[in-house]
Structure 1
Amino acid sequence: MKKNFDNGVWPVMLTPFTEDNKVDYESLEKLVNWYIESGVAGLFADCQSSEMFFLSLEERVEIARFIKEKTAGRVPVIASGHISDKIEDQAEELNAVAKTGVDAVILLSNRLAAEDESDEIWLENLKKLLSLLPEDLALGFYECPYPYKRIISPELLEWCAKTGRFYFIKDTSCDIHNIEAKLEKIRGTHLKLFNANSSTLLESLQKGGNGFSGVMANFHADLYVWLCENYETYPDKARLVADFLTVASMIERQVYPVNAKYHQKKIGNFVSIYTRTKPMCLLNETAQLEVEQLSRITEFMKKEILL
């Protein structure tokens, strides 16, 4: 298993569906190529943006296998896919995903304890889950917001880093102080932190963060790639790009992931904007105009600001 996860952008992948609610693998292959052509460091499959809670285990496994195959070694692929409550069932799901050959499997922080349970219970359950997974399996964490957001404390993350089994964390704290504390605790280990939040991204990079793993890479992955690669070389432009990305990210509050699928359809990757999580009709005509306007100003940023 590849255990050298490069700094940069790791999109949380969408799952395209046909109008009759089947996974659209032709569109998925186009999406894989679009991400890679945008310069991403790796791909995160079977996550919340992938609608993992609405996918069968068979679908989660096949999607991970397909994406790994279609990348053809161009970038590494990580995947989650465990949605069950019982630790034993989660181990079954994660082991099934691991057998697809993905480069790491990602644990959801909220699957290890109920919202009202302590960090001690969380750690106890993590140890149990680790005992049911191969010791040489590369692992990561995702602070998934659904069904509730559980932010891993810097102290717990330090414990995880010291096991030597964890290589990736998608941080969703949206709190630069929490991120800074985590970075301090994992410094010197091979655990890398990827920020999901646009507003704190530049500051997290400046403090030693490793990149971006958020939903807005489904709209303009290449701008995030530019920021992660150039924030030190062009600090003034980086500040402007980061400010734009923060304002642009307000579209997350619209009808995601329907709006992201609408964007992907407009650029020719998707055939349908069908999702299992939200009705397509919620993306009304005004909302569609907002996505189109974002696309135009994104192109302006790339042509006029970055060159």
Structure 2
Amino acid sequence: MGKKRKGYIPVMLTPFKDDGVVDFDGLTKLTTLYLRAGAAGLFANCQSSEMFNLSGEEQLAVTKHVVRVADGAVPVVATGTFGGPVEKQADFVKRLYETGVEAVIVITNMLAGESESTALFDERFEQLLDATLGIPLGLYECPEPFKRVLTAEQLKRFVGTGRVIYHKDTCLDIQQVRAKLEATKGVSDFGLYDAYMAHAVESLKAGSAGLSCIQGNYYPELIVWLCNHYDDERMADQVGMVQRFFIEHMDIMHDVYPVVSKYFLQKRGLPISTFTRKDVGLFDAPTRKGIDAFYLEFSQLLEQIELVPNGVTP
């Protein structure tokens, strides 16, 4: 999860069968898709995974399955904090770490409430560190149920403990990202992965270890391509084209998500259902028509930058 090369860390979907049961065969195929696309790691049990709609045992089973399918090819991280007393959260962190993940992710809105202070959050994070000795951790500014964004100073202190190796940033502000990168500069075993594609190229050039965005749940190869070519002067025109594409299509990729991304992956040939446990709105005919048009635009973009997909199903 460090900064040896830029990489894409997928925020993984959870495939379900049409009756709402976790589709582990679909999860195998989805994990294989990410790996074939060139993912540098995998983020299981995250918001895109509908983690708040999974039971604790399902979270453990899904994470263990992803670790098994990855089979050491790339590191896997997964969320392990879901509210309640610090001791309770620490217990689940320990259980999740036993699945074989590289690090357990702490979502920043689960250690202190929206109206509670930064000082209280810091105190509880220190308690969690003490209660999970030896376990590498990551941080994720999860937008739901509310977003708690870390300051550069906080991130510097947490990374300075030697326990935090990963940060998924969702501040959406390139100046804040730069400040966090400057604050953690020189720490080789830590990586900041940016979620916001609107400033993806700027973030990579500023020193982000890579990208961790929902757009990769449509076409992960394209995010990997951007991580590989963002600073290639010979491909500056194509890089600019890809960056503009993501900016211009931000809304359609977020609307009725993750149903729309599952539908998009169906069109690519991945045999998964569009079922989601989370209520994200109506996937109606106009929305479907918009995604169909979006799929064609994606295909045209791939031709323009001469990117050949790596295939979908095993």
Q: Which deviates more, 268-277 or 105-114? A: 268-277
1:97 counterpart SS class: helix
CA contact (8 A) 1:82 1:108 kept: yes
1:92 counterpart SS class: helix
Q: 1:91 to 1:270 in 2, by over 3 A?
A: farther
CA contact (8 A) 1:261 1:270 kept: no
Deviation at 1:243, TM superposition (A): 0.9
Pairing 1:253–2:251 present: no
Deviation at 1:3, TM superposition (A): 7.0
Map residues 48-67 of structure 1 onto 2, 5 A cutoff: 48-67=47-66
TM-score norm. by structure 2 comes to 0.93
Q: Which deviates more, 60-69 or 232-241? A: 232-241
TM-score norm. by structure 1 comes to 0.95
CA contact (8 A) 2:109 2:141 kept: yes
Map residues 152-171 of structure 1 onto 2, 5 A cutoff: 152-171=150-169
Deviation at 1:43, TM superposition (A): 0.7
Deviations 1:73-127, CA, capped at 9 Å, x for gaps: 2211111132122212211221111000011111101111111112111110001
**2: CA distance between counterparts of 1:155 and 1:122?**
14
Report the equivalent of 2:31: 32
CA contact (8 A) 1:42 1:75 kept: yes
**1: CA distance between counterparts of 2:202 and 2:49?**
28
1:265 counterpart SS class: helix
Q: 1:241 to 1:146 in 2, by over 3 A?
A: same
Flag as ranges the 4+ runs of structure 1 deviating above 4 A.
Answer: 2-6
Report the equivalent of 1:132: 131
Unpaired runs of 5+ residues, structure 1, are none
Aligned CA RMSD, in angstroms, stands at: 1.6
Count of residues in correspondence between the two structures: 304
**2: CA distance between counterparts of 1:49 and 1:167?**
21
CA contact (8 A) 1:104 1:139 kept: yes
Deviation at 1:4, TM superposition (A): 7.6
Q: 1:215 to 1:46 in 2, by over 3 A?
A: same
**1: CA distance between counterparts of 2:300 and 2:40?**
24
Unpaired runs of 5+ residues, structure 2, are 308-314
Q: Which deviates more, 170-179 or 82-91? A: 82-91
Identical-residue share of aligned pairs (%): 37
**2: CA distance between counterparts of 1:81 and 1:55?**
12
